[in-house]
């Protein structure tokens, strides 16, 4: 068995069967039955199709049986709208399907040969699947389904919907036995605990709720992985439990400017590590149903999980528990997002479905990943975790290893002092041991413990030694190795680091809000997905460290003074962090596999005088390029292939060249840093907790922008994201989801996203269309973040004193100006044409003021410019100023001729204006 700690594994077979399709419509879901004989898909054609798994798998048995059965076993109809999810029941008896028509259909396999569905052009069904039940409860789209484990006492089915509700069905009675209403937004993912004790649900309210199945109460609400998420653009968020129930992998989480999947530990529900590397949001996670045996660093066989995640970036990746990078990445297979993944029960094959209407079949073997864990070892391992797991005894399982330890410590007392104390003893497991977490005066911080792969299970927390410094402050000794971990409430440190962190990511963004803000609003906005840094910034270090509020900006209070202002307590920076620097021409997977440039930060060392210092190690590949030491503790990092900048918790900024030369002496920021960002070239932004913002051109060694955020803050608003926009200007997002950009030529802050147009028809409607012109623009991302936070998916009913058409017109004018400031050409063109279409539509409306034609004339004349001078080669003058024939790189007259005039021609009242402009263009 070859260890896979560093090498990228290659599957033994990858195939894309073209015959698996839904009339060239999207495939939204896929699942494999427990017998490994068939798989099912649901698609945009409103059909459910059952296929032979033998025709897509390799092997002697599959080859022998292929000629006996057809590829397509059955086509099932009944839904009137696209099918979002299909799932086999745990015993294989039913297929459950949920669709946009709000119905859940149950199909049961009957004896005999099936018939063709009425009105279907497909051949007659080979298998006789009959629709036996229709479950109606939800008011709108059903997004996900989850069956209870096969060992449960009842055959239960959980469903979720865009109506914010979850229903738990007794399928034999065809009625919901429980309805769960804890979410405040669209519920898009469900996962049933393999032990049957919990149900996990994920929704657009930036939370995952753990429900206890005994009484359907909330056990825990997980929000930290989504605290930095600006918007949610996933239609599916399909989370999954590990086969031993010890870990829950949630999707569509967002950490330090990167789309990641987050692995959550059972019991304390803390983040263990993040799965970093995908360009787009992670949409689905699926664990292999088998545990693997792998050799650990000490050469001893260990059990490990294998799982696959899929993303909006059209790629999927395979991971092993504890690995900091994927062992296999599938790319260039799909044209659209990955929608679903299904593992075969044997644990050697999995299927991946995509919105482009195709699937991929991936087969692995023992030579590639190592052997499966033997059943006897798995039984012993599960007994250590849960006690008696024999379903025949119907004994209530313990829910964590800690509970089992407490029961065992009580066993001698029960035996000696209680007549019924005859429980069998079990060896305590080590999987869920916990480290002590640092606590501050202002509150309790929640860093995750350092994690290593355990000999007895997939992961084991490391015990860390704690001591006291001469001044009484705590000091925690770092462990030698760790895996990736991030902090959801990261603040500038006051004491030493608590945990060692190993981070592998590319293009990380530094922006984390305070814990108080997360509790108040369940996660403020952060950097939009459209913002993609060229270079890594510190992910886990104290990002967004000391919150910038009006009080801190006015009073300039630091350190312990912040506790009196009810903001988040300080969190120590990590002992160790490693991250690669991404160059402009590198793909993200190239960075993960090759890691051309990496920077390692080691905090917590001390000079002989007792003062702290941090160590920087920059590596090109495996070769050390340069090493530097910085006084204090490094809290934030940003940079590019041209330079590396580090900000310390003490308020110093150090800038190094590509070869490690200090370009300037230490820059005094004047306060603790809150955000640090680079544009991937020479520009560097810093924001302190007192609201002092500066932008430097590191190459020219000059300050481009120096301003304050004092005028932006009011009340308890906080700055939750600050970075350089795509046009290179500073952009800040506040906790009320208002966004501001600093226009350097006007030396002013401009509010580009706010709530000034509540009655507009043109608020973001969240239509799931990634190809919409301008859908991936920076302004669009900021606006959808605001709209989702305020549940403003459509306009509000207009008040008596407000005209919705006037509000819509003002909104469109605002968006045009904002897109122009952000220098986003596709968004500017989109809003311009919507504005013209709106004016054309409202010409002659009694609610308007009759000035539509004059506005249209002004726009047309601005695009037309001076007649007869555009091609003279001399910059023409128009209305007293120089006229530019292009706007954001687009030719104005081309827009006028091909787009604007076509819209004017649709309104007879504007025919004179249309003809006049058309004639002038011919001159």
Q: Cα 764 to chain center, whole Å?
A: 20
CA-nearest of 720, 744, 753, 751 to 734 is: 720
Q: Name the band, by pLDDT with cuts 50, 70 and 90, for residue 802.
A: low
**Residue 653 and residue 671: Cα distance in Å, rounded?**
11
Q: Name the band, by pLDDT with cuts 50, 70 and 90, for residue 32.
A: very high
Structure token pair of residue 487: 């902090």
**Residue 219 and residue 180: Cα distance in Å, rounded?**
13
User: Is pLDDT of 693 > 50?
Assistant: yes
102 Cβ contact list (under 8 Å, min separation 6): 136, 138, 139, 140, 141, 142, 161, 163
Predicted confidence at residue 332, as pLDDT, reads 84
User: Is pLDDT of 770 > 50?
Assistant: no
Angle at the Cα of 869 from the Cα atoms of 863 and 872, rounded to 5 degrees: 125
Mean pLDDT value across the chain: 74
Between 526 and 268, residue with greater pLDDT: 268
Predicted confidence at residue 547, as pLDDT, reads 54
Predicted confidence at residue 559, as pLDDT, reads 31
Predicted confidence at residue 798, as pLDDT, reads 44
Q: Cα 728 to chain center, whole Å?
A: 25
The three-class DSSP label of residue 217 is strand
Q: Name the band, by pLDDT with cuts 50, 70 and 90, for residue 667.
A: very high
- What are residue 359's DSSP bridge partners? 353
The three-class DSSP label of residue 731 is strand
CA-nearest of 137, 134, 145, 144 to 106 is: 134
Q: Name the band, by pLDDT with cuts 50, 70 and 90, for residue 571.
A: very low
**Residue 652 and residue 885: Cα distance in Å, rounded?**
46
CA-nearest of 700, 449, 674 to 567 is: 674
Length of the chain in terms of residues written:
923
Predicted confidence at residue 222, as pLDDT, reads 94
Instruction: State the DSSP string of 584-630.
Output: TT--HHHHHHH--EEEEEEEEEE-TTS-EEEEEEEEETTEEEEEEEE
Between 118 and 422, residue with greater pLDDT: 118
The burial of 683, by beta-carbon neighbours within 10 Å (0-12 exposed, 13-18 middle, 19 or more buried), is given as: buried
What angle in degrees, to the nearest 10, is found between the helix axes of 778-789 and 804-821?
140
Q: Name the band, by pLDDT with cuts 50, 70 and 90, for residue 556.
A: very low
User: Is pLDDT of 568 > 60?
Assistant: no
User: Is pLDDT of 877 > 60?
Assistant: yes
Q: What is the DSSP letter of 472?
A: S
Predicted confidence at residue 743, as pLDDT, reads 92
Predicted confidence at residue 198, as pLDDT, reads 93
236 Cβ contact list (under 8 Å, min separation 6): 28, 84, 143, 144, 188, 189, 283, 284, 339, 340
Structure token pair of residue 251: 């999707």
Predicted confidence at residue 565, as pLDDT, reads 29
Residue 512 exposure: Cα atoms within 13 Å on the Cβ side: 33
CA-nearest of 807, 814, 923 to 867 is: 923
pLDDT tens per residue across span 89-125: 988 889 999 999 999 999 999 888 877 665 556 667 8
Query: In the chain, pLDDT over 70 holds for what percent of residues?
Result: 67
User: Is pLDDT of 482 > 80?
Assistant: no
Predicted confidence at residue 400, as pLDDT, reads 53
Structure token pair of residue 181: 């209403």
**Residue 347 and residue 364: Cα distance in Å, rounded?**
9
Q: What is the 3-state secondary structure (H, E, C) of 91-107?
A: CCCEEEEEECCCEEEEE
Residue 495 vs residues 153, 466, 911: alpha-carbon distances, Å: 51, 13, 73
174 Cβ contact list (under 8 Å, min separation 6): 133, 135
Q: What is the dihedral of CA 47, 48, 54, 58, to 10 degrees?
A: 80
pLDDT tens per residue across span 805-837: 788 888 889 989 999 999 989 989 988 999 998
Predicted confidence at residue 254, as pLDDT, reads 87
User: Is pLDDT of 447 > 70?
Assistant: no
Q: What is the DSSP letter of 139?
A: S
Provide mean pLDDT across the span 876-897: 84
Between 264 and 66, residue with greater pLDDT: 264
**Residue 789 and residue 776: Cα distance in Å, rounded?**
19
**Residue 187 and residue 239: Cα distance in Å, rounded?**
12
Between 724 and 555, residue with greater pLDDT: 724
- What are residue 293's DSSP bridge partners? 303
Beta strands in 137-287, from DSSP E residues, in sequence order? 142-147, 156-161, 166-170, 175-180, 187-192, 198-203, 207-212, 217-222, 240-241, 247-255, 258-265, 271-276, 282-287
Question: Residues 576-613, buried b or exposed e (16+ Cβ, 10 A)?
Answer: bbbbbbbeeebebbebbeebbbbbbbbbbeeeeeeebb
* 86-95, 357-366, 414-423, 597-606: least confidently modelled range: 414-423
Contact at 8 Å (CB) between 341 and 30? yes
Predicted confidence at residue 426, as pLDDT, reads 33
pLDDT tens per residue across span 290-324: 999 887 777 778 888 999 999 999 999 999 887 77
Predicted confidence at residue 401, as pLDDT, reads 57
697 Cβ contact list (under 8 Å, min separation 6): 682, 683, 703, 704
User: Residues 397, 403, 409, 412: is their CA dihedral positive or negative?
Assistant: negative
Predicted confidence at residue 491, as pLDDT, reads 33
Q: Name the band, by pLDDT with cuts 50, 70 and 90, for residue 508.
A: very low
The burial of 856, by beta-carbon neighbours within 10 Å (0-12 exposed, 13-18 middle, 19 or more buried), is given as: buried
Provide mean pLDDT across the span 496-510: 34
pLDDT tens per residue across span 258-274: 889 999 999 889 988 88
**Residue 206 and residue 203: Cα distance in Å, rounded?**
6
Structure token pair of residue 766: 């969240």
Q: What is the largest CA-CA distance in the chain?
A: 106
User: Is pLDDT of 871 > 60?
Assistant: no
**Residue 889 and residue 487: Cα distance in Å, rounded?**
41
**Residue 244 and residue 193: Cα distance in Å, rounded?**
9
Q: Name the band, by pLDDT with cuts 50, 70 and 90, for residue 19.
A: very high
What angle in degrees, to the nearest 10, is found between the helix axes of 852-864 and 911-922?
10
Predicted confidence at residue 153, as pLDDT, reads 55
User: Is pLDDT of 854 > 50?
Assistant: yes
Q: Name the band, by pLDDT with cuts 50, 70 and 90, for residue 484.
A: very low
Q: What is the pTM of this model?
A: 0.49
Phi, psi of 348 (to 5 degrees): -115, -5
**Residue 833 and residue 124: Cα distance in Å, rounded?**
50
Predicted confidence at residue 443, as pLDDT, reads 37
The three-class DSSP label of residue 108 is strand
């Amino acid at each position: 068995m070859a260890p896979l700690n560093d090498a990228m594994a290659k599957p033994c077979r990858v195939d894309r069967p073209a015959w698996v399709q839904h009339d060239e419509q999207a495939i939204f879901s896929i699942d494999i039955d427990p017998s490994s004989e068939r798989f099912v898909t649901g698609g945009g054609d409103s059909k459910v199709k059952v296929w032979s798994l033998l025709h897509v798998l390799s092997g002697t048995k599959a080859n022998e049986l292929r000629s006996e059965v057809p590829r397509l076993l059955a086509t099932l109809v009944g839904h009137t709208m696209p099918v979002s999810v299909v799932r086999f029941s745990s015993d294989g008896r039913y297929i459950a399907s949920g669709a946009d028509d709000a119905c859940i259909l149950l199909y049961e396999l009957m004896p005999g040969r099936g018939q063709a569905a009425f009105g279907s052009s497909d051949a007659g069904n080979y298998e006789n699947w009959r629709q036996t039940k229709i479950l109606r409860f939800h008011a709108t789209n059903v997004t996900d389904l989850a069956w209870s484990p096969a060992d449960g006492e009842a055959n239960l089915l959980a469903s979720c919907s865009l109506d914010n509700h979850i229903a738990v069905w007794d399928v034999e009675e065809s009625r919901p036995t429980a309805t769960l209403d804890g979410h405040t937004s669209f519920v898009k993912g469900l996962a049933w605990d393999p032990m049957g004790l919990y149900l996990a649900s994920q929704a657009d309210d930036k939370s995952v709720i753990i429900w206890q199945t005994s009484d359907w109460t909330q056990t825990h609400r997980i929000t930290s992985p989504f605290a930095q998420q600006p918007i949610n653009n996933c239609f599916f968020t399909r989370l999954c439990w590990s086969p031993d129930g010890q870990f829950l992998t949630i999707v569509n989480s967002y950490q330090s400017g990167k789309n990641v999947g987050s692995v959550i530990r059972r019991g304390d529900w803390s983040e263990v590590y993040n799965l970093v590397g995908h360009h787009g949001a992670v949409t689905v996670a699926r664990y292999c149903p088998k545990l693997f045996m792998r050799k650990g660093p000490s050469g001893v066989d260990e059990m490990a999980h294998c799982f696959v995640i899929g993303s909006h970036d059209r790629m999927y990746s395979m991971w092993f528990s504890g690995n900091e990078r994927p062992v296999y990445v599938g790319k260039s297979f799909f044209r659209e997002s990955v929608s679903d993944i299904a593992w075969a029960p044997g644990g050697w094959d999995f299927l991946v479905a995509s919105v482009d209407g195709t699937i991929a079949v991936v087969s692995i073997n023992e030579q590639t990943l190592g052997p499966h864990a033997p059943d006897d070892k798995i039984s012993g391992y599960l007994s250590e975790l849960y006690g008696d797991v024999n379903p025949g005894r119907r004994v209530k399982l313990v829910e964590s290893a800690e509970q089992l330890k407490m029961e065992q410590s009580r066993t001698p007392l029960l035996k000696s002092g209680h007549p019924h104390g005859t429980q069998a003893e079990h060896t305590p497991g080590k999987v869920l041991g916990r480290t002590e977490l640092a606590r501050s005066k202002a509150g309790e911080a929640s860093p995750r413990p350092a994690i290593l792969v355990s000999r007895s299970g997939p992961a084991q927390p490391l015990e860390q030694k704690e001591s006291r410094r001469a001044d009484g402050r705590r000091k925690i000794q770092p462990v030698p190795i760790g895996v990736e971990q991030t902090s959801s409430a990261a603040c500038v440190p006051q004491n030493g680091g608590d945990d060692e962190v190993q981070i592998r990511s590319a293009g990380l963004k530094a922006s984390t809000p305070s814990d108080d803000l997360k509790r108040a609003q369940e996660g403020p906005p952060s950097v939009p997905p459209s913002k993609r840094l060229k270079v890594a910034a510190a992910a886990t270090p104290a990002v967004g460290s000391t919150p910038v509020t009006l009080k801190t900006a006015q009073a300039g209070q630091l350190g312990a003074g912040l506790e009196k202002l009810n903001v988040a307590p300080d969190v120590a920076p990590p002992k160790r962090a490693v991250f690669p620097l991404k160059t402009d021409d590198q793909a993200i997977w190239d960075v993960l596999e090759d890691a051309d440039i990496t920077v390692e930060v080691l905090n917590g060392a001390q000079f002989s005088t007792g003062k702290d210092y941090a160590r920087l190690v920059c590596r090109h590949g495996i070769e050390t390029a340069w090493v530097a030491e910085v006084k204090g503790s490094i809290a934030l990092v940003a940079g590019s292939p041209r330079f590396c900048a580090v900000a310390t918790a003490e308020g110093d900024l150090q800038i190094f060249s590509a070869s490690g030369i200090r370009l300037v002496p230490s820059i005094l920021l004047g306060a603790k840093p809150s955000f640090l960002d680079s544009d991937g070239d020479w520009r560097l932004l810093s924001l302190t907790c007192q609201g002092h913002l500066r932008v430097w051109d590191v190459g020219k060694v000059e300050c481009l922008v120096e301003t304050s955020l004092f005028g932006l803050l009011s009340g308890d608003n906080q700055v939750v994201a600050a970075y350089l926009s795509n046009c290179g200007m500073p952009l800040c997002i506040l906790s009320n989801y208002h966004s501001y950009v600093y226009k350097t030529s006007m030396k002013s802050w401009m509010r580009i996203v706010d709530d000034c147009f509540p009655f507009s028809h043109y608020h973001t409607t969240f239509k799931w269309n990634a190809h919409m012109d301008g859908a991936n623009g920076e302004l669009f991302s900021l606006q959808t973040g605001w709209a989702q936070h305020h549940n403003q998916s459509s306009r509000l009913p207009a008040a008596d004193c407000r005209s919705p058409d006037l509000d819509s017109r003002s909104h469109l004018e605002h968006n045009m100006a904002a897109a122009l400031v952000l220098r986003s050409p596709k968004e500017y063109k989109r809003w311009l044409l919507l504005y013209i279409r709106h004016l054309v539509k409202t010409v002659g409306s009694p609610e308007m003021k009759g000035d539509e034609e004059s506005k249209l004339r002004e726009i047309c004349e601005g695009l037309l410019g001076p007649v007869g001078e555009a091609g003279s080669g001399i910059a023409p003058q128009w209305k007293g100023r120089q006229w530019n024939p292009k706007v954001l790189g687009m030719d104005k007259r081309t827009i006028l001729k091909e787009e604007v005039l076509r819209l004017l021609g649709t309104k007879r009242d504007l025919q004179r204006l249309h003809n006049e402009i058309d004639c002038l263009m011919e001159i």
